[in-house]
Structures are given as C-alpha cells and as structure tokens.
Chains A and B, each alone.
Chain A
Amino acid sequence: MTEELLKLENIYKNFGNVKVLKNVNIKINKGEVVALIGDNGAGKSTLIKVITGVHSPNSGKVFFKQEEVKIKSVAQSRKMGIEAVYQERALCDQQELFRNIFAGREITNSFGFLDIKKQRKEAEKILRDYIGFTSKAITVDSQVMGLSGGEKQGVAFGRSLYFNSDLIVLDEPTMGLSIQETEKVLNFVKGLKKENKSAIFIDHNIIHVYGAADRFIILDRGEVVGEFNKEDISREELVQKMIQLHESGKIKVEE
C-alpha cells in the first residue's frame, strides 16, 4: 500500500519573463526515493526550491500529507518535515558543529537564550547514533571547516533524521566527493527507505542516480518530459534516453 507524501499540481514558476517551470506535476510516496534528472537550466533546482519554500510558485497547488499547503519559507517547510541537504550550503564553516545542527531551530529558554548544554548533548547523540562518527578528531565543538565533504553531508543527514523529517531534499549530494565518500552518501540515501522516509534528489551522475533511486523524473526546459520506475528501465536505457533528449530535444515515446 503506497501512501502519498508530496504532490505538486500544475506548478508554474516565472522569473520575470522567463518561464522556469511549466505545468509540473509530480508525486512522491512515503518511503520512496525519487531522482530529478535533466540538463543545466532544466528547472531542477527551482523545483526543489519550490518544495523547500525558498521560492513560491506563481500558480499551482502543493499537497503535503494529502493536505494543500502553501510553503512560504524554509523555516515553515522544515517545521512540516521537509529538510534540505545541500552540499555547499548545508552548514556554516566557521561555526561549531553543535551550533550548526541546531541553527534555525535552537533549543532556548523563553527569553531566547540558548541551552548550550542540551544542544551539545543532543549533538553528541546525533554524531554517535545517527551518523556513526567514531573519529576522535571530530567533536561537537569542532568547526565545520575541518570536515570532509562526505562528513558534512553526514552531519546534514543526521540533522534531518534527528528532526524527524519525512522528506529529505538533496541537491547534488555526491558532487565533488571521493568514490568512498560517494558510496557512504548513497548508502545513506538507501538507508532512508528503511526508516520509511522519502527523498528527492538531483544528481548529474546517472550511475549514482540509478543505484539509489526508485523512480526517475526527467525535466527539460521546465517541463516533465519523462518518468520511469526503476523496474521498467535499465541503466543503459536511461542513459540512452538522456542522450536522445540531449541530441533531439525530446524523448521518443516508444510503444
């Protein structure tokens, strides 16, 4: 029994005269990992920014847990259970790890002063239980600067699990990572399903995408031009589709 988590209906988004998203309809179920693929400028980033509340759509409806919602800010989407993990923008480099984990969602008293002790304790728990950091070099007081790309991703994942997000949005999660670290990140994505969490992610590398996702949505110039379940398409066929799209500007619908 599949249960719908997020549904976008007829989403349009313009920046001035430029139509970035045109009549986008997508659906994500609970426990499902969906990959958004497409060329630069296809509208992938804009689409996930609509989901995370960075941009508001010009028209169209958004449903989350079968209720219509208007996501107006990142703070709101986070509160609803949508969490973004951005490679470059997930964390702030000069701040301590524990502060990064709670930034924007600080544990405070009623005057807004931080409960540093509790934040550090909870952060330790997150490092240990959700991320599995065992290295003594990384503590909750470490500056993020000293972490590798994969470790940063790990912290962002741990944070989203701790705050019990239902939908995790990943923008190029493996960009610039070593092979081993890529492996870790992809395992993390696969692990989400076990927790019955959903994810939507953008990645240029079709091999990564194919390994981790259940479904692929191809965007081209702001429109959804193809949608495939993993059972129905092999990796080679998916690559073929992308090459086709690249060369002719459209995907042949075979029948």
Chain B
Amino acid sequence: MSSILNSYFVKTHKLEISITIIALVLFLIYFLGAPHVFTRFPIYRAFMQSMPFFGIIAISATFVVTLGEIDLSFPSIVGITSLIFGMVMTSTDGNVFIAFILATSLGMFAGLVNGLLVTKIGIPSIVATIGTLFFWRGLVNVISQGSGIAIVDVADDTWHHMIFVEKLFGKIPMQFIWFIVLTGLMQWVYRYHKFGNHIHFVGDNKASAQMMGINVDNVKIIAFVQLGFFSALAGIFTMYEMLYFWPTQGEGLMLTTLAAVFVGGTSVFGGKGTIFGTFIGVLIIGSLESGIVALGLSGFYVKFINGLMITVAVTVYALIQRRKN
C-alpha cells in the first residue's frame, strides 16, 4: 500500500487523485441519499445532456486560467455567436457550413479583441473582459431587439442535428461524446503540445518565459482566441439542443464554468492546472443542482453549496501551494 502511495504516478498526480476522490464521495452521497434517482439511467442521461454546454467552455477556459488570466466575457460571446448562427441558419435555409464558419469566426474575433486588449493595450484581463462582456451582450440586444429565433424548421431532423445532439444508440447524447473527445484532445495539447507548454511557462513567470524566447503576447492572444472559438461551439450545441435562440443565451454559464475550472484544481496564480481536473470539476458542479434536489434539499441550497465547494476548493489549493513554497 505504501509503495502505491509513494509511486511516481501518485506523487505527480496528487491533485487529480484528490479531486477524483471528492467526486466519488459526492456521487456516493447522491447514491445513498437518493437511490431511487441515482440507480436509474435517466439522471445520468440528463447529466450527459446538460454538462457539455458549459463543460466545453470550462476545458477551454483552463488554458486562460493557467496563464494567470481570466475571461469573463464568454457568456456574451456565446450569446452573440448563437445569434449569428440562428440568423444565418434561418436566412440560408439551414446552410450549416456557412452558419458554423461565421459563428465560430465571430467567436474567434471576440477572443482576438480580448487578447489584444490584454496584451497590446495592457488592460488587466478581468477589467477588459468585463467590458467585452457588456459589449457583446449589448450588441445581442440591439440586433435581436429582444426577440428569439426559432431554428426548428431548418435544424430539426437533419444530419447535423443528429451529429450534434441526438442520442447514440438511443441512449448517449452526442454532445457528451463530443465533450469527451474534445477533453481528450485538449488534455493532449495542454500537456504535450508546444502551445500548452508555453501556456504553463507564461502563467508561471511571464518575465522568465520571455527570456526563454517564448512570445508571451502571442501565447495569450491564441489562448483567448481558442476560448472564443469554443464559446461559439458551446453556443451552437445549445442551439441544436433547444432549437431556439433567446437573447439571454449564455448568461447562466459564468458561475458554473469558472467554478468547474477552479474546483478542478487549476491554480488561480497561474502556471499549474489539469484538464482532467476541470473535467471532474464539470462532473461535480454539473451534478450539484440535481443532486441536491434529489437528496430532498430545497433548490435554495444549490447556490449556497456551489459557493461552499468553490471557496473550500480554492482555499485548499492555495494552502497546498503555500506549503510547497
């Protein structure tokens, strides 16, 4: 037993192991507290259906947080890109290629704006992205004039609807498969690609990274751009699931997404994090609401317990960090 605890894998994956144990304990509580719900498949199908919408963004946001930066504007990027997707879909009679390319390009453009404000103008990311948060949401309101867009006529019962959100073997929502694939891919990039490597070095120590010949500004800009892309993608998934655009789309994502990243163990100070941790963070945060209600507590506890989880998690990680130093 002690040889397992001292093994190389355990030593280098303490954080991932702790977060996995926390998630297992949480699901055990659900299971014991509400067996009538958690021994049946529908709750898991519901999880698989709803988690990917913020999970995809959380995975992508892990890159930005590892840089020691933050992006608060993604809920509005989801809004504006979904609006464009809906408008193009309805006006082209369901041309998914054009709609997809325009929506994701706009998402990347919004990310580029964030990146330029942070690197070239020098505005702290928390301030810059509050600005763009309001800007993009404001633009959604101006363009949509407060009304929604139904894409049911052009998107339902199509091949693209099938590959985005229909159920595989009638059971597994496609968006969950995509979420798993993207998580795997992003984990690979995060740890084993030059870009992920540079993300870690810039987040760790900007000055050192620059002295090692890493182009700090470019790394940051690309990080914001990819978050813009994945925000757009998450918006498109949501559109296919709901078959409807509404002007507040994306607004509820802020808390859950960032909570998943921080609960997942990515350091608020930058330089360290794990994609796997964020994935588990998504499972934890994404299951809390249904879990709490299934346990018989009122829905009023949801935010409270969410807040408690986040606060405790970041405190524990900060203490671990301090002990190391």
Contact = CB atoms under 8 A, between A and B. Distances in A.
Interface stretch (B126-134, B205-213, B235-243): B205-213
Contacts of A88: 207
A94 B317 CA distance: 14
B195 A112 contact: yes
The dominant DSSP class at the A interface is: loop
A182 interface: no
A75 B213 contact: yes
A54 B210 contact: yes
Contacts of A105: 212-213
A163 to B, nearest CB: 11
Interface in A50-106: 52, 54, 73-75, 78, 84, 86, 88-95, 99-100, 103-106
A177 interface: no
Contacts of B325: 145
B194 A90 contact: no
A243 interface: no
Contacts of B195: 112
Interface in B292-325: 324-325
Contacts of B207: 88-89
A99 B197 contact: yes
A90 B213 CA distance: 11
Contact of B193 (A75, A89, A94, A112): A112
Interface string B182-214: 000000100011110110110011011111111
Nearest to A171: B211
A92 B204 CA distance: 6
Contacts of A90: 208, 211
B12 A141 contact: yes
Interface string B31-67: 0000000000000000000000000000000000000
Contact of A104 (B8, B214, B272, B324): B214
A15 interface: no
B194 A106 contact: yes
Interface in B266-308: 271-272
A89 B192 contact: no
A40 interface: no
A233 interface: no
A73 B211 contact: no
B194 A112 contact: yes
A105 B197 CA distance: 11
Contact of A89 (B194, B208, B215, B271): B208
A105 B143 CA distance: 47
A127 to B, nearest CB: 17
Contact of A103 (B193, B212, B324): B212
Given A73-B215, A74-B212, A106 B197 contact: yes
Nearest to A106: B194
B215 A75 contact: yes
A207 interface: no
Contact of B211 (A84, A94, A99): A84
Contacts of B205: 89, 92-93
A175 interface: no
B213 A91 contact: no
B272 A94 contact: yes
- Of A86, A95, A111, the most chain B CB neighbours within 10 A belong to A95
Contact of B213 (A73, A89, A113, A145): A73
B45 to A, nearest CB: 35
A216 to B, nearest CB: 25
B211 A89 contact: yes
A192 to B, nearest CB: 19
A91 B324 CA distance: 17
A80 to B, nearest CB: 11
Nearest to B195: A112
Given A104-B213, A114-B194, A94 B208 contact: no
Contacts of A52: 211
B210 A91 contact: no
Interface in A4-54: 52, 54
Contact of B204 (A73, A95, A141): A95
Given A89-B211, A103-B209, A113 B193 contact: yes
A108 B194 contact: yes
Contacts of B188: 113
A116 interface: yes
A74 B211 CA distance: 6
**Which of A52, A100, A104 has most B Cβ within 10 Å?**
A104
A55 to B, nearest CB: 12
Contacts of A112: 193-195
B271 A94 contact: yes
A52 B212 CA distance: 11
Interface of A: 52, 54, 73-75, 78, 84, 86, 88-95, 99-100, 103-106, 108, 111-114, 116, 141, 145
15 contacts: A52-B211, A78-B213, A89-B211, A90-B211, A92-B205, A92-B208, A92-B212, A94-B200, A95-B200, A99-B197, A104-B212, A108-B194, A112-B193, A112-B195, A141-B8
Q: Which 4 A-B pairs have the closest CB atoms?
A: A104-B213, A75-B213, A92-B204, A104-B212
Given A74-B211, A103-B213, A105-B213, 6 more contacts: A90-B208, A92-B200, A92-B204, A94-B271, A103-B214, A106-B194
